[in-house]
Structure 1
């Protein structure tokens, strides 16, 4: 049997990893869904065609929202896991970095969808989420490795 002792201030880690990140995913879905209707892209199609984008600016915006949401879904699971693991050793640091990840991902969504920059280039305003995600990965690996070495 393995016992895992959680730090007393682990609640912040849980709040971000299992609260804020899923809420942001819900927001992504709402934004994407609202543009799907305006773009007139029926299910099961994932994206508007080039022709639809030329005829309807909302179709291009839908594609940007859809891609931002897909990118979020590609990165959220491991970020949640990294935050939860890193938080076992570094709860305050993990909470702060995961919180920054949420802020950067919000900027990524906003820039991608609402900036008006062509080809979704506004997403770059939130591109620093990669640094936060990498920092959480590093903290996770460092925390686990440190424990393995001490055995």
Structure 2
């Protein structure tokens, strides 16, 4: 049997990984749904066509919202896991980096959907989420390696 002792301030880690990140996913889903309606893109179509985008700027905005949400869904699970695992050894640092990831993802979403820049290039303002995500991966790897070496 293995007992896991959680650090006293692990609540902040849980708040980020199992609170803020899923809430952001819900918000992105709601934004995607509202832009879908404005773009008049029916289900089950995932994206507006090139022709629809040429006729309706809202269709392009929907495509940007859809891609931002899909990118979030591709990256959120590993980020949540890295935050939870890294937080076992470095709770304050993991919670802080995880919170930074959420802020950068908000900037990414805003830039992608609302900046009005062509081809969604406004997303670049929040692309620093990759650095935060890499830092969480590195912190997780370092913490696990350190734990394994101590045995």
Q: Normalising TM by the smaller chain, what interval?
A: over 0.9
Give deviations 1:12-60, integer Å, cap 9, x for gaps.
0000000000000000001000000010000000000000000000000
2:46 is paired with a residue whose SS is coil
- Tell me the equivalent position of 1:113: 113
TM-score by length of 2: 1.00
| Distance across 2 between alignment mates of 1:64 and 1:18 | 26
| Distance across 2 between alignment mates of 1:71 and 1:147 | 32
| Distance across 2 between alignment mates of 1:138 and 1:35 | 36
- Tell me the equivalent position of 1:71: 71
- Written as runs of structure 1 = structure 2, the 5 A alignment for 1:80-91 is 80-91=80-91
- Tell me the equivalent position of 1:24: 24
| Distance across 2 between alignment mates of 1:10 and 1:94 | 9
Which portions of structure 1, spanning 4 or more consecutive aligned residues, are displaced by more than 2 angstroms? Answer: none
**What's the CA shift for 1:10?**
0.1
- Tell me the equivalent position of 1:123: 123
- Tell me the equivalent position of 1:93: 93
TM-score by length of 1: 1.00
Number of residue pairs matched? 151
TM-align CA RMSD: 0.3
2:32 is paired with a residue whose SS is helix
1:110 is paired with a residue whose SS is helix
**What's the CA shift for 1:123?**
0.2
- Tell me the equivalent position of 1:8: 8
| Distance across 2 between alignment mates of 1:147 and 1:15 | 24
- Tell me the equivalent position of 1:49: 49
Give deviations 1:71-128, integer Å, cap 9, x for gaps.
0000000000000000000000000000000000000000000000000000000000
